[in-house]
């Protein structure tokens, strides 16, 4: 129904400008920081050709440069674009185009993180939630027993729910690889804690078709055309 109405929804317009995701756009609109032709924008507003949209006084074009970056996030860096956080990942990367992280990787964890100026990809990945895989290397402070692995794969009660079934492969006495298809807050750490173990090291090595490869902590690179094409195809 949306495409039969005139104009573009305000949050989509902001996302396509490369300013932020739709979710972040909704927050900015609710805070009164977005204006259309000088008046405060509202959730559900539509932008027609010729209208001027600003965020904190900065004009948006409706179409921005699309940048897609893979970062090996070091421990201590926070997955936020909020400049009030001194260790925010956007300032850490320092890219000349405004980018923001897709999804989260907690402060104490390291590994693969996707950053982009394409606000629409966030929504496409959220729509694919439950379908796309993320793989992690994990070390805990106790042996990885067959019982532990079985319970992790079957689902663990955390955060008033039970985690979805997942894949797990033991890689050492106290280490394993795990593949998830959901992203609850600090999910792996909470799952392990519920089973009496503490995570001592956690690194994400894959998001769907995107792999960490030889990127060292703190290094980043742009996606290749083949990587981007495969990612977009998987999200369609």
165 neighbors 155 (Cβ within 8 angstroms): yes
- Contact between 181 and 166 under an 8 Å Cβ cutoff? The reply is yes
CA dihedral 154, 158, 160, 165 (to 10 degrees): -20
Identify whether the C-beta of residue 47 lies closer than 8 Å to the C-beta of residue 7. yes
What letter would DSSP give residue 228?
A: H
Answer whether 139's CB lies under 8 Å from 175's CB: yes
Choose among 78, 94, 77, 100: nearest CA to 28. 100
DSSP notation for 131-152: TS-EEEEEEESS---HHHHHHH
Partners of 210 in the beta sheet? 207
Beta carbons of 158 and 184 less than 8 angstroms apart: yes
For residues 79 and 151, give the distance between their C-alpha atoms in angstroms, rounded to a whole number.
29
Verify whether residue 106 is a known catalytic residue: yes
Residue of 175, 66, 48, 71 lying closest to 116 (CA atoms): 66
Residue among 106, 118, 226, 236 flagged as catalytic: 106
Q: Which residues are catalytic?
A: 106
């Amino acid at each position: 129904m949306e495409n039969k109405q005139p104009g573009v929804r305000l949050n989509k317009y902001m996302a396509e400008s490369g300013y932020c995701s739709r979710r972040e756009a909704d927050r900015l609109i609710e805070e009164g920081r977005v204006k259309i032709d000088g008046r405060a924008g509202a959730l559900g507003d539509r932008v027609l050709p010729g209208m001027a949209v600003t965020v904190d006084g900065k004009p948006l074009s409706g179409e921005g440069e699309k940048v897609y970056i893979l970062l090996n996030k070091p421990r201590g860096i926070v997955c936020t674009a909020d400049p009030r956080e001194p260790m925010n990942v956007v300032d850490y990367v320092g890219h000349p185009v405004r980018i923001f992280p897709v999804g989260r990787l907690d402060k104490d964890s390291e590994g693969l993180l996707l950053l982009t100026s394409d606000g629409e990809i966030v929504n496409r990945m959220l729509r694919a939630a439950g379908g796309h895989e993320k793989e992690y290397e994990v070390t805990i402070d106790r042996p990885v027993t067959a019982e532990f692995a079985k319970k992790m794969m079957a689902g663990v009660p955390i955060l008033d729910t039970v985690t979805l079934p997942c894949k797990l492969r033991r890689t050492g006495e106290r280490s394993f690889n795990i593949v998830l298809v959901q992203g609850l807050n600090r999910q792996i750490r909470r799952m392990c804690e519920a089973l009496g173990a503490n995570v001592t090291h956690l690194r994400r090595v894959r998001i769907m078709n995107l792999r960490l490869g030889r990127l060292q902590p703190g290094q980043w690179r742009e996606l290749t055309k083949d990587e981007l094409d495969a990612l977009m195809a998987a999200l369609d």
